Structure formats: C-alpha cells, structure tokens
Amino acid sequence: MLDLALQEDHFAFVGAGVMRALLERYRPLEDWQGFADSWNDLAADPYLARVGLHRRRRHAVFAAGAQGPIRRQPHQPHYQSRDYNNLQGGIAREFQPIEDRIAEGATLRTVLEFSRDLFAGLSPQTSQWRIEVHQFRIEARADAAGQPTPEGVHRDGVDYVLVLLIDRHNISSGTTSFHLADGTEIGSFTLTRPLDAALAADRHVYHGVTAVAPLDPDRPAWRDVLVVTFVAAPQA
C-alpha cells in the first residue's frame, strides 16, 4: 500500500504504530532511546543563524546498492543548487557529522534499510543510491517562531525523501503539506508522535512545513526530525 501511495499520489503519511511495525520487520529498535537522546547534542546551524533563525543539525552521507550493505561515506559538505534552495543554495555547507554510535546503531541502520528497500522497489532501474541523512532540531522561541522549511514550499532535488518525527516538545503547528508545481495543495498532516513519518517522491511534488511556536513561551520548545534523502548515484 505504501509503494502504491508513492506511485499514485507521490506522498504518504505513515502513523507511528504502522511505522514501528514496518521497521521492526528488520530488527528491534533496541537503541531508540539513545538514538532520540542524541538530538540533545546537535550543533548549531551557523548558516541559518546568519538570517536570524535557530536550528541545530548533524549530517552524514551513505552509499547503497539495490541490495547488500549500506556504507557510510567520508564526511563531506551538504550542497543544494539555488534551483532547489533559494535561501541557502549554491554553497557547500559544512555541518558536524552524525556520531558513529548513531550512524552504526540499530535504529538508523533499520531506517536506512527499510527506506532503501522501499525506494529500490519503486525505481528498479537504479543500481546505486546516494543517501544523505540529517538530524534536525528546529527551535522555537517566544520572539522567533521555528522554521522547519525556511526556504518555503520546495523540492529537495532528490528522488525520494523520508521525514521521521523523533520528538516535539512544547510546540504548536508544524503541519506538513504537499503541492503540485502550480502551488495547488494536494494533502497535509501534522507529525505528532515519535515515529510518525512523511514520505515523498520528490521529483513529482513540492513540500513545506508550517512554522512552530512555543505553547509556553517561558519553556524551551523544539521539533526533532530525521530527514533521509535518496538520489540515484551517477554511473561510473
């Protein structure tokens, strides 16, 4: 059903219970708590800070075939062209790497294997994938809403995207919406529970997330997500 939704609608929402069951077909998420706690040790995003917004993140790159092992690649910058990111495109952005214990842990490895198998089934012609993994914490403050997608409604310039909610603390809103190229909205939902997920065939739809604001302005507020992107790797 999930592959059919991505083929026909080009996006899908998967609730936490279903998502956990799909992932645990591979292995138990035995390190989930440590995985989720690692969002408390993300580095500030210096690029977004220059425009007055608050976000923390870590980043890693992996490579995979249609089957077989998924291998972490040497740490490298994250790059998007201005065609896909009109706010911060055109520059190679250096972020702190995802910690080894997280990159090699059961939860992330399971998410990557599940995603690869799903997306490979949708693109049987793809023999090699480039995978980028981002840990994001969007911080909301009394004087500044948090912006999960500061570039607005956009595409990422990849083939497929998985967004997995890790935590949301003391925030309102954060609604994900999907759009056609002409701006027509074709669906929306809010990730509210850990393991709620949004998936998209990025070449076909645009997406955005509304700003988040603190429910209690005197307490810290954040939205933690894991974003995983897959794009067909160039053939050697």
Here the CATH number for the domain that contains residue 48 is 2.60.120.620
pLDDT digits (tens, 9 = 90+) for 78-113: 654 454 444 454 576 788 999 999 999 999 999 999
The SS3 of residue 19 is helix
In a domain, 149, yes or no: yes
In a domain, 67, yes or no: yes
Q: How many CB atoms lie within 10 A of CB 87?
A: 16
Instruction: Fill in the amino acid letter for 26.
Output: Y
- Residue 45: per-residue pLDDT: 85
In a domain, 144, yes or no: yes
Phi, psi of 186 (to 5 degrees): -115, 0
In a domain, 124, yes or no: yes
- Residue 1: per-residue pLDDT: 83
What is the C-alpha separation between 54 and 148, in angstroms, rounded? 10
- Residue 47: per-residue pLDDT: 61
Q: How many CB atoms lie within 10 A of CB 234?
A: 7
Question: Structural domain of residue 17, as residue ranges?
Answer: 2-221
CA atoms within 13 A on the CB side of 220: 9
In a domain, 234, yes or no: no
The two tokens of residue 14 are: 């998967």
- Residue 79: per-residue pLDDT: 54
In a domain, 123, yes or no: yes
The answer to whether 201 and 159 have CB atoms below 8 angstroms apart is yes
In a domain, 9, yes or no: yes
Torsion sign, CA atoms 54, 58, 64, 66: negative
- Residue 192: per-residue pLDDT: 98
In a domain, 230, yes or no: no
CA atoms within 13 A on the CB side of 208: 17
- Residue 149: per-residue pLDDT: 83
The two tokens of residue 55 are: 């976000």
- Residue 150: per-residue pLDDT: 82
Residue pointed to by tokens 């603190």: 214
- Residue 184: per-residue pLDDT: 97
Tens-digit pLDDT profile for the chain (236 aa)?
Answer: 899 999 999 999 999 999 999 999 999 999 999 999 999 999 988 766 555 567 899 999 999 999 999 999 999 886 544 544 444 545 767 889 999 999 999 999 999 999 999 999 999 999 999 999 999 999 999 988 998 888 889 899 999 999 999 999 999 999 999 999 999 999 999 999 999 999 999 999 999 999 999 999 999 999 999 999 999 998 65
Give me the number of domains the chain comprises: 1
- Residue 89: per-residue pLDDT: 45
